[in-house]
Each structure stands twice: as structure tokens, then as C-alpha cells.
Amino acid sequence: MKKYLLLSIVFSLFLCGCTQRQNEVKNLSGMETIPITDFETYNGRFSEFAEAVEMVPLEFTDESILGGIRKVVLSEDFIFVQDKSNRGGIYTFDRNGKFLYRIGNQGQGPEECLALFDFSINEKDKLIYLLDQPRGKILVFTFDNQFVKSIPMNYYASLFEYQDGLFYLYTEHPLFCDPLYSLVIKDMNGELIGKHYHILNDAEKRHTHNCIFRKRENDILFAQDMNDSVFVLSDGKLSPLYYIDYKDKSMTPEDREDIKLHVRRPIDILLEKKTIAGIKDIFEINDKVFIKSVNVIIPVLTIYDKVKKEVKTYQYWNDDFLFIGSGHPIGQYKDYLLLLRDAEGIQRSMDHFDNRIKEGVLTKEKADELRKMIEEKLPNIDTDECNPVLFMVKVKE
């Protein structure tokens, strides 16, 4: 019973996602197909694709108590964190994890957010953009927390990204937006540059969902949740990039539509059909594509090597650098994957060090060294005064 309850919670969070357009772009020219044919799972190791792991504790203070973290973005000098429970501002840390200040506050003033939905950064000009969704505008601050201006968007986006002077905004409930499209592109003055995915004024089709924006150095990976197609956004254009082919494991359009319209519970469909409902997240670093999918049995992470044309599917992966279970990626920066782990999870990993020694994958000397390092970085690991820890996984070239 507990098992099914846990699965229901997990998949409700994962799969009450975006509108699925199954008939879209599967055969467009220029779209590379990534076939996921090997569904025999195994436990992967970081060392298969990474060369190092850096552990960065986020400082716990009275002003920086983090709960569930929604988003982490790095710059050369800062770590920016959006907390799920804080709709007002962005917690700012230095690259060593020391808390500096919070950018933005909740309120109705000209320098405040009524409700912060998302944020993005302009590293070149050292600016951070906060999306105030209820008021349809973007607030601009400097990295050192100085308010610059607000930009009216006349578009009530749920998610967005900035790159090279353009804002890419997304919602699936654009009935009060200009124009009535799910993905729009606007310039620094809020003027329309492009639009994609027209939404009809049909009450049965109105649902607010998520999409995937994965910002890279020169472009943005884009995918709609519960879809199999990946695009690239660059210079105001949307171009096809990848089609993730799950073969006979792909969920039918009818089942995805049932999930989207809440006709059937995601957990019931997944347990019955044992199929995949599409992409949950995607990252690409150094010719390696990391694809996060959702299913009851099939593993949730696949790594595609674009050079070798090899596909590896993982049920779990092991950190054979720090031997800490750190979960799945939540972001990327240059050649790093970003992952998070709470103090309780790190402590559980340390409790298993003796088992790792017996298995022969960890020496006693290395275990003692790791324990000392963790205790120095997390002196309050045994208390509640400990924020989640950021792990930076450096991907091999």
C-alpha cells in the first residue's frame, strides 16, 4: 500500500504536465532520432561520463532557510536559488555557498513581485530577471541587488528564459495573454518577435502546465512535458533538434490525453500499460545528451553519446567519487550537471560507507577522508539547521 501511495505521489508530480501534441514534428527534416531500445537497466557510475564532483553546501542562516528548491542557476561568481515556498525573491550565494542576500521581495510595490514564478539571468550584463506572473511583467535587478526597471510583457507566463536580448515565455493558459499562443518570444521592450503553439478558446483544453527550458551557452533546449520532441531556441527561432523514440514503450496519444484532461490517474495508466509518457527533462553537455523520462518500470535516465551513437539507460547511478546518493540533475552550467541532496540523504550515504567497504568499491582510507570532508563542510549535519547541498558534476569532454 505504501509503495503504491509513494508512486502515486511521485507520478502525480511528474505527470500532471504539459499538453501533449503527439502528431508534432516526428518526421521533420533535421531532427535527429535518439532510439531508446535497451530497456535492460543497470546501475551506472559517475566515472563513466564525469571526471569530478564538487560539493557546495548552501549556507544556512536566519535569512536563508531553504525548503524545497525549485530552480538553481549559476554564474561565474554566484549561485541563484529559487525556493518553492518563497514567491518574492531569489536567494543569492557566492560560488562557495556563502549566503549574500535575497534579490526581490513579495509585495505590490514597483520593485516587488506579487508572485515570483520563474527567473533567468543575463551573465554578460550581470542582470537577473524575475517573472511576476500575476502582473504580467519582468523585474530587472543587478547581480548586486540593485533594482533597474520593470518590463511589461502583457503575457502571463508560467516559465521563461532569457538569452541574447530576447525573452522566451511559455504558458498553456494564454486566454488573457497577447497573443493567444503558448510560446511567445519578446524583446527587451516587451514587443512580440515570434509565437508558436496556438491555443483555441476551448474550455475543455484549458490547463496550466509546465515545459522544459534548458539554457545553454548559445541557445536553449525546449520541450513540452509529456512530449517526445526536443527543439532548440536561438535568435528568436524554434528549430527541431531531437525525437526521443521509445519504440513500443511509448505511451499512446489517447492515454496521454487522458492524463492531460484528468480522465484517468497517471499512476493507473503507468501501472497498467508500463509505457513512457515522454520527456521530463533534458540536458546536453560535451556531446552527451541526458534524457529524464518517467515510468513505473523503465529507468528514468538515459545518456546518449552523440559521437559514439551509444545509448545507456540507467535505473540508478552511483557517485564513485564522493559515494553520496545525489539524485537526478536539476540544471546545468557550462560543462557541469547540477544536482541537489539534503543533509538527511547525505547522512544516509555515510551510514552505508561500511557496506561499500565490504563490497570492495570503497577503501577505509577513502571513507575516512570523505567523512572528514563532509563533517567539515556540514558541521550541522545532525541538526535541522542545514540547507540542501549543491553537487556539481563535471562532464568529460
pLDDT digits (tens, 9 = 90+) for 47-105: 999 999 999 999 999 999 998 899 999 999 999 999 988 777 999 999 999 999 999 99
Label residue 299 by pLDDT band (50, 70, 90): low
pLDDT of residue 203: 44
The structural domain count of the chain equals 1
Does pTM top 0.85 for this prediction?
yes
Cβ–Cβ < 8 Å for 52, 311: no
Which of 95-99, 118-122, 204-208, 356-360 shows the lowest per-residue confidence on average (mean pLDDT)? 204-208
pLDDT of residue 8: 43
* Burial classification of residue 355, based on how many CB atoms lie within 10 Å of its CB (0-12 exposed, 13-18 middle, 19 or more buried): exposed
User: At 379, is the secondary structure helix, strand, or coil?
Assistant: coil
Q: What is the mean pLDDT of residues 324-336?
A: 91
Cβ–Cβ < 8 Å for 298, 249: yes
Q: What is the mean pLDDT of residues 335-349?
A: 95
pLDDT of residue 208: 45
pLDDT at 3 exceeding the cut of 80: no
pLDDT of residue 22: 39
Of all residues in the chain, what percent carry a pLDDT higher than 90?
Answer: 62
Q: Residue 152's domain is classified under what CATH number?
A: 2.120.10.30
Residue 388, preceding peptide bond in cis (omega within 30° of 0): no
* Exposure string over 86-103, b if 16+ CB within 10 A, otherwise e: bbbbbbbbeeebebbebb
Label residue 14 by pLDDT band (50, 70, 90): very low
pLDDT at 300 exceeding the cut of 80: no
Amino acid at 255: D
Euclidean distance between CA atoms 250 and 38, whole angstroms: 14
Model confidence pLDDT, tens digit, residues 144-181:
999 999 999 999 999 999 999 999 999 877 777 778 88
Reference 161, options 116, 207, 129; nearest CA is 129
pLDDT of residue 296: 62
Q: What is the mean pLDDT of residues 256-262?
A: 81
pLDDT of residue 197: 86
* Burial classification of residue 283, based on how many CB atoms lie within 10 Å of its CB (0-12 exposed, 13-18 middle, 19 or more buried): buried
Taken in order 266, 7, 297, 53, the sign of the CA dihedral is positive
Reference 207, options 159, 156, 172, 157; nearest CA is 172
pLDDT of residue 192: 96
Structural domain that includes position 180: 2-395
Q: What is the mean pLDDT of residues 181-194?
A: 95
pLDDT of residue 71: 95
Label residue 11 by pLDDT band (50, 70, 90): very low
Label residue 200 by pLDDT band (50, 70, 90): low
Euclidean distance between CA atoms 397 and 395, whole angstroms: 7
Euclidean distance between CA atoms 311 and 309, whole angstroms: 7
